[in-house]
Structure 1
Amino acid sequence: MALTATANDKIVKDAIKVLGMKTPHVYRSSFNRPNLSYEVRKKDGKTIEVMADYIAKRPNDSGVIYCLSRKDCEVLSEKLTKILLSKGKRNVGVSYYHADLEIHERQKRHHEWLSGRINLLCATIAFGMGVDKPDVRYVMHYSMPKSITHYYQESGRAGRDGDPADCILFYAYKDKKILEMMIRKGSTNPRCNAMNRKIDQLYSCLRYCENEFLCRRTLQLDFFGERFDRANCGMTCDNCKAGKVAERRDLSEDARVVLSLLDNLRLQKNGRGITLAQTSELYRGSKAKTMTKFIDISRIPEHGAGKKYKKADIDRIMHAMIFEGVIMEVSEVNGSGFNSDYVVEGQKADLLRNKKWKFYVEFPSAASSAKGKATPTKKKKTKETKKGKGKDKQAAKKSPKKLSLKNGKFEVPTVEILDSDDDDDLPGSSNRRVGSKSKSPDEKSILPRKHTETLMKRIKKLVTMWADEEIMNGNKLFYWNIMSNTAMGTIASQVPLSVEELNDLSVLGENVVKEYGDRLIKNINSFVTQNNLQKYTRNKRCKVDTGEVQKAPQSSTIAISNSAATKNNTSMITDSDDDFDMGIDFSSIEIPDGPIPAPKTLSRKSSYFQK
């Protein structure tokens, strides 16, 4: 039996041949991950601030940022920490992970990330195999990966629990230079097929990043030989949301002018190389000294031939010429001893010159531009509507949607990105930020937003402590084995005050409720009492029973009417029942990887749900 998760048709056929399989039975499942949202953003000087803003809006979420180098991991981790601290997000744990760390330190950081003590790891691809944390809500790429296969594998760390997750790739063309150099240096034979195949895969990833029109999901699945109709994307990628329409233009003549420009430049450069940036700028008509050094532009008729194009359009043309093999960049050692990429003619240059092949480039059509200009007006109008009456605000909200199963597969709904700070944007509300959890349509938060978020953090901390107890009792499990983020969000929004109400939510298994239900309910009741939130829970409880929770005049004990306590199976709760008052700081305890004998004082019931 041969198993693989990310192999296209060619690799599968090669594997069958190498393994000597005569009549193999091949079973393929879909590569589609419908709960993941894909986005490619341009990488610039503000990228780290953009990342920090994103993380600050979801401080409790777990994530990974993949970096190209070990130095990038450390620098990015340090900068994100500083920015998040300046935003008041002191509880967001950020660290880094790469192969230069001692094995013990790598294991420690991996465990802390798995257990939730570290929210975000900035990592190289060394952090890959064996990573199986289900509630990773986002995976970012600070640099372009080596191939679509790498990207699919690395972004696939997100959303393994089936809930929505974000995959954001920050792209700059200069990353291609570093990656191509790494590929070529790693090969002993510069002309071998293996190296050429890796270069081709790198260029496929370049095309993926620069494509503004095709569905990201379609591009990925097409690489693996799977057909996908973009109508099924459900607006879960940036290109489908933008809705740009491609206008395919024949720029064969423009490309021939660029080739002629290169010929004339070579005559004047006397063997010195010509960079892509220099070619682009001279084609635009630049007279900057850095671009015209050793060059007499009066003897170059092609100088300024592309002045009708914007810089972004010329970059689009030049990159397309590289992708299509009209020109190519080769790395050479310059006079200073450093590697530089210089432009030379590609395999299709002669075909283009002899007019035996046409060169096309896709641009956003006029319809796309018109649509893009109309969007801000529409958003402004929506914003003005929100400032109106409360009824209009409620009416403007779209009905909530959930992940649903269709033909045995998840179907992802359309998602809007909301940055509103309104109290309606809570766990269980109708709208959802990308990267947060989807909730039941029936859920409306009982408590105000601030208290709901605080209760959510409290529950997660509590469940993490329980997982630490299990580890110290010899069971290797993490908080999500006890309770998923979805379940925590539902409980925080619904505020069950009895085991019966907890069971009615149907978010926890029978064994989990039996093992931890009483302790969870005691902590929720304690939270409600300590924050004087009974007025919010009173109406909800009246529907179940006429009994109410009342605060004793001079005691921290919660007094519950006998009828309510009997019917709802709610016990008397005092401060001493609160798990947070046990006096044990589990985060300060060094937890070993293997099982250890459990101290009897820590074991409350049986081990691992009494299995």
Structure 2
Amino acid sequence: MIKLVCLSFSELKLLFVTPEKISNSERLNDVFQSLYQNGLLARFVIDEAHCVSQWGHDFRPDYKRLNLLRTKYKDVPIMALTATATPRVRKDILHQLGLNSPKWFLSSFDRPNLKYEVLPKSGKSSLVDIIALIKTRFSNQSGIIYCFSRNDCDSVAAQLKLNDIKAAAYHAGLQDSVRSDVQTKWISDRIKVVCATIAFGMGIDKPDVRYVIHYSLPKSVEGYYQEAGRAGRDGEKANCLLYYNYGDMHRVRKLIELDKDGTPASKQTHIDNLWRMVAYCENRTECRRAMQLNYFGEKFSREKCKSRPSTTCDNCLSQEEYNQEDLTEVAKSIVKTIGEICGDRHNTSWANNFTSTHIVDIFKGSTVKKVLTSGHDKLTIYGLGKSWHRSDADRLMHKLTLEGFLDETHVATKDGIVNAYIKLGSRAVQLLSGQVKVSPSGSHLINLATNFLPNQLSLP
């Protein structure tokens, strides 16, 4: 490629290279220098520019090193493009690339033709629902199903094919030729559904994708927006369905924590992004579109969402009513009890390891064996939430964790199962001392997306 560039100075118009190549190839940089000296470098265009920022959802170190383009070629214009940058990330892109007094071109993040829904994920029954949706509502239409792992991609694709749906898996564990074949068949409609990990879709121009289904929790709001945004690029109505189970968060978080290449700072950024995604899913009251756009620094009225009948989000369509009540004292009782029997995250004794499910069992006054044998039926919170729906009690625990009053430590078994044990969080003292309140939004609890996240990080 470099030899070709050297021989084709006059004919060459566009050169596509990766940031990794620019960062690591001296020969390529020599070519750039020759082009520059001959006045043949018109501009640099950096796509997926959010990868420059360590605050972004997809940070890549070699993107950050692209600042050498500004230091070496001071008078060559640089254009940075991204569709998923928060205000914080946008500012960091300028700083990292050394772009001074740039011209901004910022369009709306609103995709009016996309309909957003978050659905409860409950084991294999959710896959049965997905199969039924594809065979009826989305019959003979093109779609993508995003899965957590390669094994999930393979198993979901296999189940679809058993039900006479033209589907295939796509992930890094397949040979290049197989992935290329799947991509070609999908674009030409010989395959209708691709079950893929998040990498699928980058650079693929297929405008008639009618649905994107997330069968697992996305790692961030930015990632979700980008992946869901691969639907409906022809401007016609498309559906974005996310099957959510809080337990999926544990799998994603453990993956982040086990990343050997990640720094403590980058891991914390990814975990914070994950919490924001959980908050989005847990929220049953606010407009989905408004939450997304607010995340990217754009204001949006839910009335506008309601004015689009065919793509109104699930929350704006909901007819459920919510009662207001202060849960601070209930929350304090739960947190105090957890402090007594579990301690904080530094207490790793197996005798102090209890799950959120166990705490809810105590709160609900359950007579399951573990509650009785551990003597936890004698605790002050035992039966305090007897009249609560189980789902509401679970969501209260999730909320207390999201706000940093509680924390979870994750332990993987030999079988790869991740267990999450509840501990006191960094803000527990603030709650117990009366410095903060737990403000609910009815029987389904809190408006999570606009409240505190762990370490007091708020949504931008």
TM-score by length of 2: 0.73
Q: Deviations over 1:452-485 (max 9, x none)?
A: xxxxxxxxxxxxxxxxxxxxxxxxxxxxxxxxxx
- For 2:364 and 2:324, locate their aligned partners in 1 and report how far apart those are by CA, in whole Å: 21
The structure number with the bigger radius of gyration is: 1
Instruction: Compute the displacement of 1:209 (Å).
Output: 0.8
Q: Which residue of 2 aligns with 1:430?
A: none
The answer to whether the aligner puts 1:255 opposite 2:331 as a matched pair is yes
The answer to whether the aligner puts 1:288 opposite 2:368 as a matched pair is yes
- For 1:141 and 1:338, locate their aligned partners in 2 and report how far apart those are by CA, in whole Å: 21
Relative distance call for 1:273 and 1:251 in structure 2 (3 A) is same
Give 2:192's match in structure 1, choosing from 105, 116, 119. 119
Q: Which residue of 1 aligns with 2:397?
A: 318
Instruction: Compute the displacement of 1:156 (Å).
Output: 0.7
The answer to whether the aligner puts 1:264 opposite 2:337 as a matched pair is no
Whether the aligned pair in 2 keeps the contact of 1:97 and 1:124 (CA below 8 Å) is yes
Whether the aligned pair in 1 keeps the contact of 2:408 and 2:423 (CA below 8 Å) is yes
Q: How do residues 543-562 of structure 1 correspond to structure 2 at under 5 angstroms?
A: none
Q: Which residue of 1 aligns with 2:354?
A: 274
The answer to whether the aligner puts 1:209 opposite 2:296 as a matched pair is no
The letter for the 1-side match of 2:441 is: E
Q: Deviations over 1:416-463 (max 9, x none)?
A: xxxxxxxxxxxxxxxxxxxxxxxxxxxxxxxxxxxxxxxxxxxxxxxx
Q: How do residues 159-174 of structure 1 correspond to structure 2 at under 5 angstroms?
A: 159-174=232-247
SS at match of 2:336: helix
- For 1:338 and 1:104, locate their aligned partners in 2 and report how far apart those are by CA, in whole Å: 32
SS at match of 2:98: coil
Whether the aligned pair in 2 keeps the contact of 1:73 and 1:124 (CA below 8 Å) is yes
Instruction: Compute the displacement of 1:291 (Å).
Output: 3.8
Q: Which residue of 2 aligns with 1:182?
A: 255
Q: Which residue of 2 aligns with 1:43?
A: 121
- For 1:189 and 1:103, locate their aligned partners in 2 and report how far apart those are by CA, in whole Å: 27
- For 1:33 and 1:75, locate their aligned partners in 2 and report how far apart those are by CA, in whole Å: 31
Note the aligned Cα RMSD (angstroms). Answer: 2.3
Relative distance call for 1:316 and 1:352 in structure 2 (3 A) is same
Q: Deviations over 1:74-132 (max 9, x none)?
A: 1111112223x3xxxxxx41111111110011001100000010011111113131122
- For 1:286 and 1:355, locate their aligned partners in 2 and report how far apart those are by CA, in whole Å: 29
- For 2:161 and 2:413, locate their aligned partners in 1 and report how far apart those are by CA, in whole Å: 38
Q: Which residue of 1 aligns with 2:48?
A: none
Q: How do residues 93-492 of structure 1 correspond to structure 2 at under 5 angstroms?
A: 93-186=166-259, 192-233=264-305, 234-235=308-309, 236-266=312-342, 271-293=351-373, 295-297=374-376, 299-332=378-411, 339-364=418-443
Whether the aligned pair in 1 keeps the contact of 2:290 and 2:301 (CA below 8 Å) is yes
Give 1:80's match in structure 2, choosing from 160, 174, 180. 160
- For 2:341 and 2:415, locate their aligned partners in 1 and report how far apart those are by CA, in whole Å: 21
The letter for the 2-side match of 1:194 is: S
SS at match of 2:440: strand
Tell me, which stretches of 5 or more residues in structure 2 are unaligned? 1-78, 344-348, 446-460
- For 1:228 and 1:243, locate their aligned partners in 2 and report how far apart those are by CA, in whole Å: 21
Whether the aligned pair in 1 keeps the contact of 2:216 and 2:242 (CA below 8 Å) is yes
The letter for the 2-side match of 1:240 is: C
Over 3 Å off, 4+ runs: 187-190, 243-248, 269-272, 290-293, 332-339
- For 1:271 and 1:337, locate their aligned partners in 2 and report how far apart those are by CA, in whole Å: 22
Instruction: Compute the displacement of 1:214 (Å).
Output: 0.7
The answer to whether the aligner puts 1:7 opposite 2:51 as a matched pair is no
Relative distance call for 1:189 and 1:350 in structure 2 (3 A) is farther
- For 1:297 and 1:167, locate their aligned partners in 2 and report how far apart those are by CA, in whole Å: 43
Give 2:144's match in structure 1, choosing from 64, 72, 83. 64
Instruction: Compute the displacement of 1:53 (Å).
Output: 1.3
- For 2:145 and 2:179, locate their aligned partners in 1 and report how far apart those are by CA, in whole Å: 16
- For 1:365 and 1:353, locate their aligned partners in 2 and report how far apart those are by CA, in whole Å: 23
SS at match of 1:362: coil
SS at match of 2:362: helix
Whether the aligned pair in 2 keeps the contact of 1:8 and 1:224 (CA below 8 Å) is yes
- For 1:317 and 1:122, locate their aligned partners in 2 and report how far apart those are by CA, in whole Å: 33
Relative distance call for 1:194 and 1:27 in structure 2 (3 A) is same
The letter for the 2-side match of 1:260 is: K
- For 1:130 and 1:137, locate their aligned partners in 2 and report how far apart those are by CA, in whole Å: 18
Whether the aligned pair in 2 keeps the contact of 1:212 and 1:244 (CA below 8 Å) is no
- For 1:48 and 1:303, locate their aligned partners in 2 and report how far apart those are by CA, in whole Å: 36
Relative distance call for 1:137 and 1:25 in structure 2 (3 A) is same
Instruction: Compute the displacement of 1:197 (Å).
Output: 1.4
Whether the aligned pair in 1 keeps the contact of 2:341 and 2:352 (CA below 8 Å) is no
Whether the aligned pair in 1 keeps the contact of 2:339 and 2:424 (CA below 8 Å) is no
Relative distance call for 1:162 and 1:333 in structure 2 (3 A) is closer
- For 1:284 and 1:204, locate their aligned partners in 2 and report how far apart those are by CA, in whole Å: 28
Identity %: 37
The letter for the 1-side match of 2:83 is: A
Whether the aligned pair in 2 keeps the contact of 1:246 and 1:364 (CA below 8 Å) is yes
- For 2:96 and 2:217, locate their aligned partners in 1 and report how far apart those are by CA, in whole Å: 31
- For 1:334 and 1:107, locate their aligned partners in 2 and report how far apart those are by CA, in whole Å: 36
